[in-house]
Amino acid sequence: MSDRLATELYVKAHVRQCFAKGLTAIIAHKGDDWGGAILVKLNLLGPGCRLLNQTRDADGEIAWLPVQGGALLSERDADDYIAKAVNRDPDLWVVEIEDRTGTNPFPGKIL
Mind listing the pLDDT tens digit of every residue in the chain (111 residues)? 345 789 999 999 999 999 999 999 999 999 999 988 999 999 999 999 999 999 999 998 889 999 999 999 999 999 999 999 999 999 999 999 999 998 898 888 998
Instruction: Tell me the Cα Rg of the chain.
Output: 13
**E strand or H helix at 96:** strand 93-98
For residue 3, what pLDDT is reported?
58
Full-model pTM: 0.90
Contact 102, 44 (CB under 8 A): yes
Pairwise CA distance, residues 83 & 61, whole Å: 27
Pairwise CA distance, residues 29 & 93, whole Å: 5
Residue (of 79, 109, 91) closest to 7 by Cα position:
91
Q: Which residues is 106 bridged to in the sheet?
A: none
